[in-house]
Amino acid sequence: MSLLGGLLFVVSALVVRGSSISTIEENYLKFPAGFLIGTATAAYQIEGAWNVSDKSENVWDRFTHEPRPGRIVNNDTGDVACDSYHKYKKDVELLREIGFDVYRLSLSWSRILPNGFANKISQDGLDYYKKVLAELEANGIEPLVTLYHWDHPQIIEDLGGWTNEEIVDYFGDYARVVFRELGPRVKYFCTINEPEEFCARGYGLGTKAPGKEIHGIGEYLCSHNVLKAHARAYHIYDKEFRPTQNGTIGIVLSLSYAYPKDPDDATSVETHFQFNAGWFCHPIFSASGDYPSLMKEKIASASLEQGYPRSRLPEFSQEWIEYIRGSSDFLGVNHYTSTLVEPGVESVVPSVFADRKIILSPDPSWPRANSSWLYVVPKGFGDLLRLLAKEYNNPVMYVTENGVSAAEETNDLNRIQYFHDYLKEMLLAMNRDGVNVKGYLAWSLLDNFEWTQGYSERFGLVHVDFNDPERKRTLKMSANWWKNVLKTRKLEPVPAGPQSSCCTAIPV
């Protein structure tokens, strides 16, 4: 809040008779009726059982099974992970014990369609997810189901994966099978999780599956096909299933917030926003559709300078622009951290990172969590939500992921502090500023396979012992804090006690 805003706030608080600043703030810090609170996971990160029954190999199986030095910490794989394939009843018991309203899980494409294509549906694969959904229903927990969280069948990748436009049909076919078979039990669908991440790192830098280093071209082909495939799944749901299933469906994006290094540098902030959020939000949520013009211009001019005959960013036809525009009932926001921005060129040339012509860095005063990229900046969360509301006509939003990594411990007061401070910003954005957030999903229920960091970074509310064949699960202190929040439906204070490794200022 600005100084002036702060003064006006104090004055208005004082004129409310019998009231005080603290009671007004307290009213803001309650969850509105109907607000959904839950926690999230992803198939490859928790299920294990990578080769049971007729499940086929997916891109993360392949990526982790061909270890290269430095690719994945300790050469860890998701072969067993949390073994949730066998222990899903325990997971649901934990969800019920903590008291969550909703659970966001993702489906493994190669478990449901072992050939990649819809010519063969795995009965075992479907049965597994039917059992999970039945268990959730029996425990009064609403499922929020993500169709795709980074793990497409290897056969699809052999055909080019997200760089082959045919994936629009393949993904649509897969989505139709899921809606038909599982849709009767699901009211909330997410199509595709964090495309910026798997496009830029999976097909650009090559640091995530499928490990393709085609930066400057690969990430844009990927995003182009992701937007089409997302819209295809949306329209299939809208036309063929919504009339009977009456659910809601949207995309999930990884969004961060940027502050200028030089206070007058609004340009770098706008550039960061358009490349981070606008890349996928503008085609779907803006009134005009298509990629943001700032992005189109920057990539076209960099391409020209580099001697390419045309922009490395493909163009949509008017039909596709219309087909994609409006193809989401809600915006799923995954948010963890913020950054400082300044003009300059970073990363390899050409790439989506270099095309922006901005450099990202943390503010030295920001505490760092146990992931090298994760700085604790609660205010950035509120600022991001307000900016999204302003840019895209206040869409319905679900915070589909938010959380923090910490060292291996169960007395995770530092994680409670993170949730407390971030939730406070979200509640003020909603209850004071009118931002349309309808639900919040903490990342994550369990410590799990954290992609290239293997099992070395822990985001769980529940500790998992990865040395134990039984993968023993133990509630952390943060899970108990969530129990209270879910009982009172308001922000609960952080218990007193020492805070450890995470979220205390570590010099950068």
Ligand X SMILES: *[C@@H]1O[C@H](CO)[C@@H](O)[C@H](O)[C@H]1NC(C)=O
- Site residues (CB under 6 A) for ligand X? 51, 67, 69, 74-75, 79, 246, 370, 372, 407, 501
Catalytic-residue membership of 181: no
**Smallest separation, CB 141 to ligand X (Å):** 17
Spatial separation of the C-alpha atoms in residues 62 and 163, rounded to whole Å = 18
CA distances from 381 to 59, 236, 256, 384, 460 (A): 32, 33, 8, 5, 20
Which CB sits closer to ligand X, 306 or 474? 474
472: helix, strand or coil: coil
Minimum Å gap between C-beta 234 and ligand X is 17
What three-state secondary structure class fits 118?
Answer: coil
Nearest CA to 422 out of 334, 499, 489, 508 is that of: 334
How far apart (Å, rounded) are the C-alpha atoms in residues 1 and 10? 12
Total residue length of the chain: 508
Do 429 and 362 touch, CB atoms closer than 8 A?
Answer: no
> Is residue 28 a contact partner of residue 34, using CB atoms and an 8 Å limit?
no
Nearest approach, Cβ of residue 232 and ligand X (Å): 23
Which residues touch 225 (CB under 8 Å, ≥6 apart)?
Answer: 162, 163, 164, 165, 167, 168
CB of 60 to ligand X, least distance (A): 13
Q: Which residues contact 451 (CB under 8 A, 6 or more apart)?
A: 45, 72, 208
Contact 330, 438 (CB under 8 A): yes
The nearer residue to ligand X, 402 or 414, going by C-beta atoms, is 414
Q: Per the structure block, which two tokens stand in for 316? A: 């949509």
Q: Which one, 12 or 123, has the nearer CB to ligand X?
A: 123
Closest separation in Å from C-beta 273 to ligand X: 27
Q: Residue 505 CB: number of other CB atoms within 10 A?
A: 12
DSSP codes joined into one string, 396-414: -EEEEE----B-S-S--HH
CA distances from 490 to 316, 388, 487 (A): 45, 24, 8
**What's the min distance (Å) between Cβ of 291 and ligand X?**
32
Measured over the CA atoms of residue 93, residue 98, residue 103 and residue 108, the dihedral's sign is negative
Instruction: For the CB of residue 50, give the shortest distance to ligand X in the complex, in Å.
Output: 6
Q: Which is nearer to ligand X, 75 or 484 (CB)?
A: 75
Q: How far apart are the first and last CA of the chain?
A: 27
In the complex with ligand X, which residue's Cβ is closer, 187 or 296? 187
Among residues 142, 401, 450, 492, the one annotated as catalytic is 401
Between 249 and 387, whose beta carbon lies closer to ligand X?
A: 249
State which residue, 67 or 495, has the beta carbon closest to ligand X: 67
Q: Return the amino acid letter for 435.
A: V
CB atoms within 10 A of CB 214: 17
- What is the set of active-site residues? 401
